[in-house]
Amino acid sequence: MIPYARRMDGMKASEIRELLKLVDRPEVISFAGGIPDPALFPAQAARSAYDKALRDPAAALQYGVSEGYAPLREWIAARMRGEGVPASAENILVTAGSQQGLDFLAKALISPGDTILSEYPTYLGALQAFCAYEPRYDRLRLDGGNETPAAYSDRARATGALKALYLVPDFANPTGLSLARPQREAALALARELGALVIEDAAYRALRFEGDAQPSLQALDVASCGDLEQSRVVYLGTFSKTVAPGMRVGWVCAPRAMIAKLTLINQASALHVSSINQIAMLAIVEAGLDPLISAARAHYRAKRDALLDALARYAPGLACTMPQGGLFSWATLPQGMDAAALLRRALAEAKVAFVPGGAFHPDGGGANTLRLSYSLPSIARIEEGIGRLAKLL
Interior/surface letters 17-53, b for 16+ CB within 10 angstroms, e for the rest: eebbeebeeeebbbbbebebbeebbbeebbeebbebb
Question: Quick check: 244 binds a second copy (CB under 8 A)?
Answer: yes
Residue 266 identity: N
Alpha helices in the chain (DSSP H): 15-20, 43-53, 57-60, 70-82, 97-109, 124-131, 149-157, 181-194, 217-225, 256-267, 275-288, 290-314, 339-345, 379-392
Looking at the Cβ atoms of 37 and 309, the one nearer to a second copy is: 37
Angle between helices 181-194 and 149-157 (to 10 degrees): 50
Of these, 64, 121, 176, 358, which contacts a second copy (CB under 8 A)? 64
Task: List binders of a second copy among 252-291 (CB under 8 A).
Answer: 257-258, 260-261, 264-265, 267-277
Task: List binders of a second copy among 180-209 (CB under 8 A).
Answer: 195, 197
- Cα distance from N-terminal residue to C-terminal residue, the chain: 45
Q: Are strands 233-238 and 197-201 parallel, antiparallel or unpaired?
A: parallel
Of these, 73, 79, 163, 184, which contacts a second copy (CB under 8 A)? 163
Question: Quick check: 114 binds a second copy (CB under 8 A)?
Answer: yes
Question: Quick check: 373 binds a second copy (CB under 8 A)?
Answer: no
Instruction: Give the residue from 354, 356, 310, 303 showing the smallest Cα distance to 325.
Output: 303
Question: Which one of 107-115, 287-295, 357-365, 384-392 is the stretch in contact with a second copy (CB under 8 A)?
Answer: 107-115
Looking at the Cβ atoms of 254 and 370, the one nearer to a second copy is: 254
Rounded to a whole number of angstroms, the minimum distance from the CB of residue 69 to a second copy is 10
Distance CA 210, CA 328 (A): 15
Binding mask 128-157 for a second copy (x = CB under 8 A): xx-xxx------------------------
Task: List binders of a second copy among 331-370 (CB under 8 A).
Answer: none
Question: Quick check: 158 binds a second copy (CB under 8 A)?
Answer: no
Looking at the Cβ atoms of 194 and 202, the one nearer to a second copy is: 194
Rounded to a whole number of angstroms, the minimum distance from the CB of residue 237 to a second copy is 15
Residues paired with 355 in a beta bridge:
371
Task: List binders of a second copy among 66-105 (CB under 8 A).
Answer: 95-97, 99-100, 103
Rounded to a whole number of angstroms, the minimum distance from the CB of residue 291 to a second copy is 17
Question: Quick check: 222 binds a second copy (CB under 8 A)?
Answer: no
Of these, 15, 22, 25, 57, which contacts a second copy (CB under 8 A)? 57
Count of positions (residues) in the chain: 393
Rounded to a whole number of angstroms, the minimum distance from the CB of residue 18 to a second copy is 11
CA distances from 156 to 163, 164, 185, 233 (A): 9, 11, 22, 20
Rounded to a whole number of angstroms, the minimum distance from the CB of residue 114 to a second copy is 7
Question: Quick check: 35 binds a second copy (CB under 8 A)?
Answer: yes
Residue 296 identity: A
Of these, 13, 27, 145, 316, which contacts a second copy (CB under 8 A)? 13
Answer for the pair 81, 87: CB distance below 8 angstroms, yes or no.
yes
Residue 361 identity: H
Rounded to a whole number of angstroms, the minimum distance from the CB of residue 344 to a second copy is 22
Question: Quick check: 111 binds a second copy (CB under 8 A)?
Answer: yes
Rounded to a whole number of angstroms, the minimum distance from the CB of residue 262 to a second copy is 10
Distance CA 294, CA 212 (A): 15
Looking at the Cβ atoms of 35 and 393, the one nearer to a second copy is: 35
Of these, 22, 25, 61, 345, which contacts a second copy (CB under 8 A)? 61
Interior/surface letters 154-164, b for 16+ CB within 10 angstroms, e for the rest: eebeeebbbbb
3-state helix, strand, coil in the chain (%, to 5): 50, 15, 40
Residues paired with 331 in a beta bridge:
320, 370
Residues paired with 252 in a beta bridge:
93, 236
Question: Quick check: 25 binds a second copy (CB under 8 A)?
Answer: no
Question: Quick check: 41 binds a second copy (CB under 8 A)?
Answer: yes
Question: Which one of 50-58, 72-80, 302-310, 359-367 is the stretch in contact with a second copy (CB under 8 A)?
Answer: 50-58
Looking at the Cβ atoms of 103 and 368, the one nearer to a second copy is: 103
